[in-house]
A and B are shown apart, each in its own frame.
Chain A
Amino acid sequence: MRNIGKYILMLKDVFTRPNKWRVFFERLLEELNGIGINSLPIVALMSTFIGGVIALQTASNMSSPLLPAYTVGYITQSSTILEFSPTIISLILAGKIGSNIASEIGTMRVTEQIDALEIMGVNSLNFLVLPKITAAIIFFPILVIFSMALSMLGGWISLVVSNLSTTEEYVLGLRAFFDPFNIKYALSKTVVFGFLIVSVSSFYGYYVKGGSLDVGRASTQAVVSSSVTILIANFLLTQMILL
């Protein structure tokens, strides 16, 4: 409970007016590169392969002749849009980005760089964390759309190469019962997950005490806690939005 209170107080300091907007935008561009662009390769790799596996597993379980041939495409589309791209990719990014943020800010803390900022009169939380949160909120939806496209592409490649379905059947499945609201739902979840990953990881990094071992511990805690908060938020958001 004490940590939750401390986390909320931290957010109060994060969401204040930046000292200089020009500096904020420069830092935002750096973070868009660090958090967003640098995550593209891992997202592309995971999405393509898992999309392929989803399609293959679905196809291998479609033994009933009563099921239409486009079912494989439909299941790939719906599981990718509703759960895989927003949630699983966010969990993967919690590992990659979360540990990176916690160790970066934690190292700044133990080497007194944060104290140096504070003594200069800079609001260190606002300076360090706000550009990261903004970058995540802007770029996570882009990553997820990218992931959706690539996992469907991965599904198509795996089915066609394995000769389990045709392009026409698969594309028909992807378009079947498509509800644009699901995209909005997925992107809304993603924005929340992006915020949680960055803010929770920053919290663990910012309040680290001690030396390099403690930074390592904070980094692990950041990944675990942001993953748990993603799972809880996923459950709550699904309840609120879909049901």
Chain B
Amino acid sequence: MIEVIKVNKAFSGNTILNDVSANFEKGKVNLIIGQSGQGKSVLAKCMVGLHEVDSGEILYDGRDFTLLDRHERSKIRQEIGMLFQGAALFDSMTVEGNVMFPLIMFTKMTKGEMQKRVDFCLDRVNLKGKNKLFPSECSGGMQKRIGIARAIAMNPKYLFCDEPNSGLDPQTSILIDGLIKDITAEFQMTTIVITHDMNSVIEIGDNILFIYKGQNWWQGNSETIITTDNPEIGNFVYASQFMKDIRASMQEKRR
């Protein structure tokens, strides 16, 4: 479980996060949603230590990440897997090299054990036999799946996904969402997904945090987000005509 307690962050006097508090539960897909520029990515970067918080606490199963030095943080970071928006694969390494990299750096596994683990992770994301390809030879969807395979290689307790569906077609997006949901349940991870994608919100949002003007404006799940009367949520969820039509038909059915 990850707890964020009264986190504040400003850049050059411009407040981005204002007393944000939230709980992200184990074994669930926790979504952070909100319009662009509202502070969701900054919150996620603060949580993994890419940005330092100005004040507040970030607790990984009770361990305050903000108080740890580089060496102690490194230990917690080995329990974190992260899928980046652009996948952030090491382009000088093959698919296999990317997935094996954290194992080489942080485990004492033999070559054979590492190979077995890499094959398992690639198989888990439906990329069996793609070991020797380079990231530049892979499609966007494949790159995201390689990113997931690399993120789960160390069997992490916490998985962060930064806009996993950006730049992907709807079918591949559904595939990635399904994969994230399945591996979260399978490995009992605390998964945090930053997304704009309304399909993801509805499909995989066990726990949803809506960030607005740097604050945790609303927290709920994929069912309550549809029915909430919160106007800011309404503006976000029902921004497109397609979603407005869905809302109208749902209201019609209720009557």
Which A residues have a C-beta under 8 Å from some C-beta of B? 19-20, 23, 111-113, 115-116, 118-123
Which residues of A have CB within 8 Å of B74?
A: 121, 123
User: Are B105's CB and A111's CB within 8 A?
Assistant: no
**CA distance in complex: A124, B200 (Å):** 33
Question: Could you say which residues of chain B place their CB within 8 Å of the CB of A113?
Answer: 88-91
Measured between beta carbons, the chain A residues less than 8 angstroms from B80 are 119
Given contacts A112-B84, A112-B88, A119-B48, contact A23 B77 (CB under 8 A): no
> Pick the contact of A116 from B78, B88, B104, B106 — CB < 8 Å?
B88
Check if B105 sits within 8 Å of A20, measured CB to CB. yes
Q: Is the CB of A23 within 8 A of B104?
A: yes
Measuring CB to CB, which residues of chain B are less than 8 angstroms from any residue of chain A? 48-50, 70, 73-78, 80, 82, 84-86, 88-91, 101-102, 104-106, 154, 160
Q: What are some 22 contacts across the A-B interface (CB < 8 A)?
A: A19-B106, A20-B104, A20-B105, A23-B104, A23-B105, A112-B86, A113-B88, A113-B89, A113-B90, A113-B91, A115-B50, A118-B50, A119-B48, A119-B80, A119-B82, A119-B160, A120-B77, A120-B78, A120-B105, A120-B106, A121-B75, A121-B105
Instruction: Using known A-B contacts A20-B104, A23-B104, determine if residue A121 contacts B86 with beta carbons closer than 8 Å.
Output: no
Residues of A within 8 A of B70 (CB): 123
**In the complex, A19→B70 CA distance in Å?**
13
Q: A135 CB to closest chain B CB, in angstroms?
A: 16
B130 CB → nearest A CB, Å: 19
How many A-B residue pairs lie within 8 Å, measured between CB atoms? 52
Minimum Cβ distance to chain A for residue B30 (Å): 17
Residue from A112, A115, A121, A123 whose CB has the most chain B CB atoms within 10 Å: A121
**What residue of chain A has the Cβ atom nearest to residue B73's Cβ?**
A121
A112 surroundings in chain B (CB, below 8 A)? 84-86, 88
Q: How far is the CA of A123 from the CA of B74 in the complex (A)?
A: 9
Query: Contact check: which of A20, A23, A115 meets B84 at CB < 8 Å?
Result: A115
B105 near A119: Cβ-Cβ < 8 Å: no
Chain B residues within an 8 Å CB radius of A115: 50, 84, 88
Query: Taking the nearest CB of chain A, how far is it from the CB of B101, in angstroms?
Result: 8
* Interchain CA distance A19-B103 in the complex, whole Å: 12
Partner of B77, one of A20, A111, A119: A119
A121 touches B77 (CB 8 A): yes
Given A23-B104, A112-B85, A119-B160, list of 7 further CB < 8 A pairs?
A111-B86, A112-B86, A118-B49, A119-B80, A120-B105, A120-B154, A121-B77
Q: A113-B90, A115-B50 are in contact. Are A120 and B84 (CB under 8 A)?
A: no
For A122, what are the chain B residues with a Cβ–Cβ distance below 8 Å?
105
